[in-house]
A and B are shown apart, each in its own frame.
Chain A
């Protein structure tokens, strides 16, 4: 794993905290799902935590992110509250979108998280547009588009990345290559090994990043972000990663071998950073457990909050179809 370099301890500890928070939260959600408390579907993020946390650590509060149908990791990494997410997923009034979004449509503009998008690849041109907006206003903000390996085969990817390239839009395209689009191995759906190679076709920088190494993700993201802020245009970061869960609820993952899952689990990003914190920064077991306990507590509190949150008022069905007049 990449060395911590000169990162402040506080930053690295917080990266660790957020990765643990995502993992514990997702695990707890799955348990609740099995109990029948979670309506609809679940797309879980366990295994990919280093990508969300590495990228979001490289951002400023005034930047914006555009997430996917698998948004929990991105939102927690960006600083959204677990309780708002939990309530949203359970369809409650206190959800971050009042229960109208659901698991795949989280929004929290207070932390720069735009509506997450459940149409594969659709946020790529949208993030580009946000970046063009920043550019037109003369701001040095950036937009991040998260998407999966499957999205790199959709037309919106081509159109959005190319438009961003020709306009030098300050956007970072973060491809989380978790190896599968639903049940389909990406290796069977493209003739190249690295999605990052596609960047060359648009004349932009593309790089492959170890998506199980949060520090490596952070460093690559920071470089891309700083380049975009300087007017250097977009970057395509391909983070090689893995989702431990199935694509969505009720997917046991029969299309992949136990050996493959184990191979990736051995490179789990959370223990990797934990070891690094002990070895390089001398954190004690007690200190790390304190962080982990904070996460556990936050998850428990969030779930309790969500379970106790009221259901949305019926009239909410009819509200917010149209924005108010100026």
Chain B
């Protein structure tokens, strides 16, 4: 069985297998391996098989859309009409979404088959998937280790071959970091490129949806379906997406790639640094010109991010009030009791911490010191990138400071968990696109390399990653237990 979206499309068109057959294969793999990995919160077998039958009919009549019959999985924070959408939270444990997110509509339009909804950190708040109220996800490369987060279920499912591709969201690294830790390819587009409509909000000025797959070539196909202006998202970019697949294969000869010295400084694991340096040499061999750049405010990105993200989350999550949908406490004595206990029972500890920090930062007398200050630093961080992009086409560095850590290793110290996001978080503050691709291993665990592009240059990122994947096979590695 193949795990490549590109090959699945070809096989379906050539009639080598049907969508029902390949969908059944993946559902069987999920049934076999999900108990050990816990990648899925919901498996939607019946919907998948019905969509697959429709896809086979479309293929037979020659009416195939770009992804007709291709199975994939969605992070459980995209609303799916008629299907439970939990955000891995007890407050939404009974929530059957009454409408589809725009990207879900797009995948339906383009013929994709939904295998299920993937596990995640509750409300996308976390870097290890240990904050899910449905249990943690295990890393397929070593099940004692975390898969990263927050889109850990999607990344692990792709790594273990339980789905050829999956969707995720990235507010501070939640696509790129789990992609790195699980050895798969993932891209966070420019802010505004992919509609946020129906994507349950965490930090609205930071959130972006994007795909996970085995290769840049496959990511290009999924991103094509996900991208585009949407009037229902008030910050959707009014820009047509280019043909991402057509942009692949241009090579990277003469491409100027900047290495930010701050990304190779103290805090980076020496073995990870070694793997990244080998990958840089490969890119140089392909004709890329490697130069040094500086992003001097990198160190400020974590405190700045956490103020902005927590402030925005405290506002966004006020909608979960136990009145219109979601969990309601038993026998509330009055309205305040209803709000407080419904929310107190429904949210997990990390979500409560973030809501409280955000509430504090926005409260009377503290706004200037926290939120306004963070927004000023946000501009300075953006300006660092703009200056660097005056000189280079792409920026490159490690995706994470270390490989996957053991389950439980950082759960007692929220701040040490936040430091995992040091190289990914600034892109969300600046709104820039970035992707992670596997470039090797350290002690049997995957190492991810991050490529950062200028605004709306997803095509440039995908082309560079594809060029590397044409001369390497790290992206084709599958953990032994899941071959």
Do A and B interact with each other, yes or no?
no
